[in-house]
Amino acid sequence: MALIKLSILLQMIRIFVPIPYTRSFYFIIGFAVINTLWSSAFCLVTVFRCVPVSKTWNSKLAGHCLDYSTWIIGAGVLNIVSDYIMLVLPMFWIARLQMDNKRKLTAGAIFVIGFLACAASVIRLVFIIKHLHDPDTLLVLDIAISTLGEIFAGIICANLPSLPAFIKHFKAR
């Protein structure tokens, strides 16, 4: 998800920040750096949350582990906050653009799909909290499906801005 968010943020710079080194430019770059660092930290903590690492899958080993419940819920909340910031941020820029309402509504369609990604994020967190201490591993399927929903919606949002140019290219032939 981190690379999808990074791709969307870089597209925001390309589309909404025609003059580099403005406040908007620095905000997006800063947000991208924070997202990248956060995602990297999440991966590292998830992998190395137990000492020794093999205690993650073999609970009988001596050692200790980070409280995963707190970590995964905190990560889910930060992910949701990040998703909603990315959803709301471009709305202000689109509202100020000099284009007709039809084009603004078309641009707004991307936000509907972006909202679906945010909703999938919230649903995933609800499933994580609900099934956190449940021994039935089949319940992970709910979490996996909601995660895939967020990823697929994110990929669609990342690619929609380039779709008109793609269609125009093939119409010209």
Q: Which residue range forms the structural domain that includes residue 67?
A: 2-171
Helix axes 140-159, 2-16, angle to 10 degrees: 20
Is residue 143 within 8 Å of residue 124, measured between CB atoms?
yes
Q: Which long-range contacts (CB under 8 A, 24 or more apart) does 88-97 make?
A: 89/12, 89/28, 90/12, 90/15, 90/16, 93/16, 93/24
**pLDDT tens, position by position, 112-163:** 888 999 999 999 999 999 888 888 878 888 889 999 999 999 898 888 888 8
Tally of domains in the chain: 1
Model pTM? 0.82
**pLDDT tens, position by position, 60-93:** 899 998 888 888 899 999 999 999 998 888 888 8
**Distance in angstroms (rounded) separating the CA atoms of residues 121 and 127:** 10
